[in-house]
Amino acid sequence: MQNDIIHRLARRLLRGAIAAATTSTLIFTATPATAAPILPEFGIPLGYSDPSISIGGAETKLPQFNDLSIDPETLKSPTGDGEEKKQPDPRTQDDEYDPFYDTSTVAIGKPGSVLRTQSAPVAPMPKGIDYPLPSSVTKVLYSSKLHDGTPTAISGYLVEPSVPWTGKGARPTVVIGRGTVGQGDKCAPSRNWPLNGQPDPISSNRLVALEGLYDWAFAAEGVRVFVTDYVGMGTPGIHTYMNRKEQGHAMLDGARAALNLAGDKGEAPGKVAFYGHSQGGGASAAAAEMISSYAPDLDGAAAYASAPPADLDAVQANIDGSDLVGAIGFTINGLVARYPAVADDMKKHLSEKGQETLDDLATMCTNEIVSAYGHQTTSTWTKDGRSLDQLLDDVPTGRQAMQEQFIGSVKPGVPTMVVSGKHDLNVEYGQARTLSRNWCSLGGEVIYRDDVLPEIKGYNHFAQAISGAPFGLTFILSKFNDVPVSGSCQGI
């Protein structure tokens, strides 16, 4: 059974993701014509010695890529017909008003209470990908809390599977936190592919939306899926990027909202799990830490945290000057919004250019920060030429605020798999291993894995969203079925 699950998930997820990725010159090579021959060098299991998963003592192998039938053109158009169609850009923009996200007309209630729903169309399944389409996709506005306990509303969407759950107990729910999509409202997962007729991730250049394939992979196994937009993404206010409490609240209250909607249909509440890569990995890790204290009503089964930014100091120092340096601006914008003292101190040290940069970043999606600010250093944003990391030594309020986002000081309330990549140039490799060690020292049940990929010329962070997925999906499904996990806290 384990082997069947591994092969089914790997084939479906990797076929879709790699088909999409091979259309993009960003990931593999300078020209699409040479992308296909390089594909086997990218994949599993080539490039590492042990492509196996051990869950409950069962050893299984991931399929070779030559087992997959991939049409690299499938995601170039919403119809999946392999033809690129010239049409006006329909991407959601920041100045577009959508009444669904207007929180001024709702009364925020108990965390997880549903404030508003709206049916949302989904993109047709691309040719060559065999996920069953879900029976319904529902945009959801739900109640949650800010880091200080202030009530707030968060948006997201719910995917109800079109196939039955055949595992143990009632249908389970997985809450997915997307990787870094940006800080502007237009970047919210519920405003992008695969919802609302939005263009595919390749055409729109919002490549993180490829993580929408996670939705279909879980739903194809009969698992209910809830995707959160996080605080302030889509809804009014700034998105508080990498705020530990607010991301944890968004995930946990998203689970509550999903179960509330299922209960309205007479369905029994089942187990819940949390899944994410990059920012989503941090959100999943935060939810794992907070479930026992913030949401003990949930029947937590597992969490998967791929490339989690658990130590923002280490991550910030690592990406300063990289293609994702703009994510440091996302972090600062979020801290300034929640910590008034930090706002006052930053004004003293930021140059006019630095403040303009932060204001600009607050409206941007990840693809835009790469093109506009990629490989800048934060020393160009300050008055005295020091980097923001160096500046924090003289801004104790800022350093303290950063430290409050640290993940790894609380025992996770569910078994958790952590994956970190040696060749990840964005989320620092060692701090995720440290997270796992910290959790183990606290008595947590932790499965740690190095990412399986060889070096891919700077793109390992993005690629890990694909390469880690079969491990993460299988781990969560195993815990939904009460399969014991062997090897906890070994080899870290």
Residue 365 is classified by DSSP as B
pLDDT at 400 over 70: yes
Same domain, 58 and 145: no
On whether residue 492 sits in a domain, the answer given is no
What's the whole-number mean pLDDT along residues 5-9? Answer: 48
What's the whole-number mean pLDDT along residues 394-404? Answer: 91
Same domain, 301 and 162: yes
**What is the per-residue pLDDT for 2?**
44
- For 448, the enclosing helix (H) or strand (E) is strand 446-450
Chain-centroid distance of CA 275 in Å reads: 7
From 351, 384, 403, give the residue that closes a domain. Answer: 403
CATH no. for residue 345? 1.10.260.130
Q: Can you give the residue range of the structural domain that contains 296?
A: 111-311+406-480
pTM above 0.95, yes or no: no
Same domain, 334 and 285: no
Helix, coil or strand: residue 417: strand
Residue 174 phi, psi dihedral angles, 5° rounding: -115, 135
Bridge partners (DSSP) of residue 225 are 159, 174
Q: Nearest CA to 224 among 483, 476, 492?
A: 476
On whether residue 10 sits in a domain, the answer given is yes
From 373, 403, 433, give the residue that closes a domain. Answer: 403
Write down the mean pLDDT value for the chain. 83
Q: Where are the alpha helices (DSSP H) in 326-387?
A: 326-338, 340-349, 352-361, 366-373
> What digits encode the pLDDT tens for the residues 172-199?
999 999 999 999 999 999 999 999 788 8
pLDDT category of residue 9 using cuts at 50, 70 and 90: low
Query: CA separation (Å) from 144 to 115, 228, 232, 405?
Result: 11, 11, 12, 18
CATH no. for residue 453? 3.40.50.1820
Half-sphere exposure of 277 (CA within 13 A, CB side): 27
Same domain, 302 and 155: yes
**What is the per-residue pLDDT for 89?**
53
Same domain, 290 and 247: yes
Bridge partners (DSSP) of residue 226 are 158, 175
pLDDT at 258 over 70: yes
C-alpha radius of gyration, the chain, whole number: 21
On whether residue 101 sits in a domain, the answer given is no
Q: Which long-range contacts (CB under 8 A, 24 or more apart) does 387-390 make?
A: 387/320, 388/316, 388/320, 388/328, 388/332, 389/313, 389/316, 389/317, 389/320
More confident residue, 1 or 473: 473
Residue 394 is classified by DSSP as G
- Report yes or no: 248 and 160 within 8 Å, Cβ to Cβ: no
Same domain, 188 and 335: no
From 403, 424, 455, give the residue that closes a domain. Answer: 403
Same domain, 185 and 247: yes
On whether residue 83 sits in a domain, the answer given is no
pLDDT category of residue 129 using cuts at 50, 70 and 90: confident
> What digits encode the pLDDT tens for the residues 274-301?
999 999 999 999 999 999 999 999 999 9
Same domain, 22 and 167: no
Same domain, 47 and 164: no
> What digits encode the pLDDT tens for the residues 212-244?
999 999 999 999 999 999 999 999 999 999 999
Q: Nearest CA to 355 among 333, 322, 324, 323?
A: 333
- Report yes or no: 411 and 439 within 8 Å, Cβ to Cβ: yes
- Please state the domain count of the chain: 3
Bridge partners (DSSP) of residue 143 are 153
What's the whole-number mean pLDDT along residues 254-264? Answer: 98
On whether residue 370 sits in a domain, the answer given is yes
On whether residue 55 sits in a domain, the answer given is yes
- Report yes or no: 471 and 15 within 8 Å, Cβ to Cβ: no
Same domain, 295 and 444: yes
On whether residue 96 sits in a domain, the answer given is no
Same domain, 171 and 260: yes
Same domain, 230 and 377: no
On whether residue 347 sits in a domain, the answer given is yes
pLDDT at 34 over 70: no
> What digits encode the pLDDT tens for the residues 357-388?
999 999 999 999 999 999 999 999 999 999 99
Between 21-35, 279-293, 420-434, 443-457, the lowest mean confidence (pLDDT) is in 21-35
- For 144, the enclosing helix (H) or strand (E) is strand 136-145
Between 90-104, 155-169, 251-265, 267-281, the lowest mean confidence (pLDDT) is in 90-104
